[in-house]
Amino acid sequence: MKYVIVGGTSGIGLATARMARDAGHEVVAVGRDAAKFAAAHAFGASTAQLDATSLPACQRFFGQQEHFDHLVLCASASAGVGRFRELNLAELRRGFDGKFWPQLHCAQAALPALRPGGSITFVGAISSRALKPGTAGLAAINAALEAMVPILASELRPTRVNAVVPGVVDTPWWSHVPPAARQQLFEQLASEVAVGRVGQPDDLASAILFLSTNTFVTGTILDCDGGWKLKNA
């Protein structure tokens, strides 16, 4: 099987690329920053450079690809955080431009090269349903992706379409928070979830591999959040 993983050179995408390679699959790890490619090369993945914010660039890239089996969409951005009264709407637009549109660009552009019966796996975020003040913008971005999943699963059959929804995961997404403050925040958030820890990229990678390889699962939004929804139970 062949995977194309957009956002596959860091964080959840890189962990998925490594896990897929360990399982014997061919992997193309796609990212914007060529300086990050060495990590994927280290375990035998191929790499490709792509700015997925550009639909024409995505169309050119996927138009040059040979047929492949699984598309994983890990493109993300951290813009759009803040309480609504003070929320910078230009920043929120950048958040959509950094996550929502790149994932859709790639999903649509990849269809001619994606083998029928293969899969598309979006990666959202539990902010879509976490109901935390200050995350309305993030909720909007991720809920928009989630809303499309069951509809695309129906439209694009027999290609399967699913989404993995991470909770708090220790990835470079949090790099804007200083290390000491990040550690304190992770400890606080770990105390609020049932499993008692924040997630690691491999937690999400195993969920993505399950959805992409299980041929009886489609239209599914899989929360991989450590029991976030149980915190007030």
Rounded Cα distance between 120 and 72, Å, is 6
* pLDDT, the chain, mean: 92
7: left (phi over 0), alpha (psi -120 to 50) or beta: left
pLDDT band for 180, please (50, 70, 90 cuts): confident
pLDDT band for 76, please (50, 70, 90 cuts): confident
Q: Own/partner pairs for 111-115, CB < 8 Å, 24+ apart?
A: 111/156, 111/159, 112/62, 112/63, 113/62, 113/63, 113/65, 113/66, 113/67, 113/68, 114/67, 114/68, 114/69, 114/71, 114/159, 115/67, 115/68, 115/69
Q: Which amino acid is at 7?
A: G
Q: What is the pLDDT of residue 103?
A: 98
> Angle between the 101-110 and 55-63 helix axes, to the nearest 10 degrees?
30
Least confident of 7-21, 125-139, 143-157, 211-225: 125-139
pTM: 0.93
Name residues whose C-beta falls within 8 Å of residue 70's C-beta, 6 or more positions apart in sequence.
1, 2, 3, 4, 25, 118, 119, 120, 121, 212, 213
Domains of the chain as residue ranges with CATH:
2-169+200-226 (3.40.50.720)
- Looking only at Cα atoms, what is the longest distance across the chain? 50
Determine the Cα angle at 155 with ends 2 and 113, to 5°: 30
Rounded Cα distance between 154 and 104, Å, is 16
Helix, strand or coil for residue 1?
A: coil
Mean pLDDT, residues 81-101 taken together: 90
Q: What is the pLDDT of residue 134?
A: 84
Q: What is the pLDDT of residue 87?
A: 87
